[in-house]
Structure 1
Amino acid sequence: MTTATATDQTLAPRPAGGPLQAAHDSLVVAKRNLIRMLRIPEVVIFGLIQPIMFVVLFSYVFGGAIPVPGQHGSDPSVYRNYLMAGIFAQTVTFATAGAGAGIADDMHKGLIDRFRSLPMARGAVLTGRTIADLVQTALTVVVLSIVAVIVGWRVHNGVFDTLAAFGLLLLLGYAFSWIGALIGLSVRTPEAATSGGLIWLFPLTFISNAFVPTSNMPSFLRTIADWNPFSATVQACRQLFGNPTGIVSHAWPMQHPAWASLIWSVVIVLVFRTWSVHKYRTAAA
């Protein structure tokens, strides 16, 4: 019994140590996922259609019906500029469902078991997947920005502020992709991962300042919205883009939205990456 156990441990592949090796393994997995995305272009195309539909529908259906506090008149272009930060944030967070479904699909097909048999860093499989999802999200944001400009969205601050806003958006999307990774590891099928990845995103995005000002919400909902990490990112982007912000709450995240967004995203990455990698290792045991 002891001899057999020792033999198994000797034959089992051991990952090479060090952060550089872990980074290399993560990039290899990311490349694999990006190649797969290119071979299935409909996944990317469908991922682009939904945010474009939101831009068009909200801009032209609700644009003249929702006034922005602090802005005079009911010019639809004012609401379009107010709206776009929310659409951007919604787009990067909704990628969470795709991340979870992808990992659940790999688990379902046994691909994760093949990775486990290789001498690679344990967290590389999940890190590589989230990096690939981040690249896809960045592509979606670029296309969405072009559509936004077509419907009348404009940036009024400098290039540095604009890039900082997009950086906060992508960081939030990357943070949420780790929540998707945890969901994908926790369910049995890709369908369950898709449902589980979306069901909590709707209240997160709609109980926020993304689409309407929070000033008319009940007090308890406004408090939730003000401390929502999603709201902090939206508010930070509006300020950095130079777009209308509406009535700003006295809550700390709304007074310092860029810092709040950064802190929220880093905390989410640290917590859910640790949790996801632990779950991956536990499942591998």
Structure 2
Amino acid sequence: MTTVAPKPAVEASRPATKPTSIVQQSWIMVKRNLIHTKRMPEMLSDVTVQPIMFVLLFAFVFGASIANTGGASYREFLLPGIMAQTIVFTAFVVAAGITADVEKGIIDRFRSLPIRRSSVLIGRSVAGLLHSSIGIVVMTITGLCIGWRIRGSAVEAVLAFVLMLVFGFGMVWFGILVGSMMRSVEAVNGVMFTVLFPITFLANTFAPTGPMPTWLRVTAEWNPVSSLAQATRELWGNGPAAPPEAQLPLHHPILATILWSLVITAVLAPFALRAYARRTTD
């Protein structure tokens, strides 16, 4: 009786892989976040339903009580301010997303892949800016429907939107820092509402700073959000220049907004990256 020698095991063929650049990796992360939004459209409620509600409430409810806006109608005064608030809340979106990914173990899965750790942060940050940009577009359409107009040139109009994105990039680092330090999405919600709401209201976003007490007016006018709101108002022709007694940032709001964005990034980015690295290696 003859025996048949067993055939040598055939190794399973693996698909060929090729290295990808940081740009490709980051874009994949952006698409991943956008797919989540597509599958759960209710995630867009904060940049679709809420902006319309905020614009209408402030324009028709509070606007009737605020007449002194320096010559511009309250609706034209309001839109730049409420858009500035929306872009500030980019930090909220980024922080909640990072905390959720860490909680669910998604970051650990990413660490097992041949990708750079920074691509996760870049993808989350770009997705957060796109998320907030939807709110800006919705507010723009809503504002046009209720009588708001851009009265500056096309170049100035685009520059105002670019300034918002630049400032939003600075706020992204605050979101990364908070998202890396908090242990739950609920904690992120508590911290962000406690910090961001006072910052966005203690400014010239919804009401002029002139009638405020001196100490409060000075604080509000040095608030970076005030510089962003004032810059967009001047670029869109939605209000006069700052009065002579206003603080320095409001007399040069475009430059001040750029400088504030650079300062926020330079100060927060090292702490944010360190906190993220510590959180994702524990």
Percent identical across equivalent pairs? 40
Q: 1:40 to 1:104 in 2, by over 3 A?
A: same
- Alignment: residue pair count: 262
SS in 1 for 2:151: coil
| Rounded Cα–Cα distance in structure 2 between residues aligned with 1:137 and 1:84 | 15
Runs of 5+ unmatched residues, structure 1:
1-15, 72-76
Runs of 5+ unmatched residues, structure 2:
1-18
| Rounded Cα–Cα distance in structure 1 between residues aligned with 2:269 and 2:106 | 20
| Rounded Cα–Cα distance in structure 1 between residues aligned with 2:131 and 2:105 | 24
Deviations 1:149-187 (A, max 9, x none): 001101111110001111111222222122112111111
Q: 1:169 to 1:63 in 2, by over 3 A?
A: same
When Rg is computed on C-alpha atoms for both structures, the one with the higher figure is: 2
Aligned-pair CA distance for 1:148 = 0.5
Q: 1:284 to 1:46 in 2, by over 3 A?
A: closer
| Rounded Cα–Cα distance in structure 1 between residues aligned with 2:105 and 2:210 | 49
Q: 1:270 to 1:37 in 2, by over 3 A?
A: farther
Deviations 1:255-275 (A, max 9, x none): 100010011112222332332
Q: 1:23 to 1:266 in 2, by over 3 A?
A: farther
Aligned-pair CA distance for 1:196 = 1.3
* Aligned residue type for 1:213: P
* TM-score, scaled to structure 2: 0.87
Deviations 1:79-114 (A, max 9, x none): 111111101111111232222111111010010111
Aligned-pair CA distance for 1:45 = 2.8
Is structure 2 residue 133 aligned with structure 1 residue 135?
no
Contact 1:123 1:277 in 2 (8 A): no
SS in 1 for 2:210: helix
Q: Counterpart in 2 of 1:272? A: 268
Aligned-pair CA distance for 1:245 = 4.0
SS in 1 for 2:117: coil
Contact 2:231 2:254 in 1 (8 A): yes
Q: Counterpart in 2 of 1:54? A: 54
Q: Counterpart in 2 of 1:11? A: none
| Rounded Cα–Cα distance in structure 1 between residues aligned with 2:280 and 2:45 | 34
Is structure 2 residue 99 aligned with structure 1 residue 104?
yes
Q: Counterpart in 1 of 2:88? A: 93
SS in 1 for 2:63: coil
Q: Counterpart in 2 of 1:67? A: 67
* TM-score, scaled to structure 1: 0.86
Q: 1:211 to 1:117 in 2, by over 3 A?
A: same
* Aligned residue type for 2:267: V
Picking from 166, 174, 182, the partner of 1:187 is 182
Contact 2:203 2:221 in 1 (8 A): yes
Q: 1:69 to 1:141 in 2, by over 3 A?
A: closer
Is structure 2 residue 235 aligned with structure 1 residue 240?
yes
Q: Counterpart in 1 of 2:10? A: none
SS in 2 for 1:63: helix
Deviations 1:199-221 (A, max 9, x none): 11111011101111111111111
Aligned-pair CA distance for 1:25 = 2.2
Deviations 1:54-81 (A, max 9, x none): 100111112221122432xxxxx81111
Could you say which structure has the higher helix fraction? Answer: 1
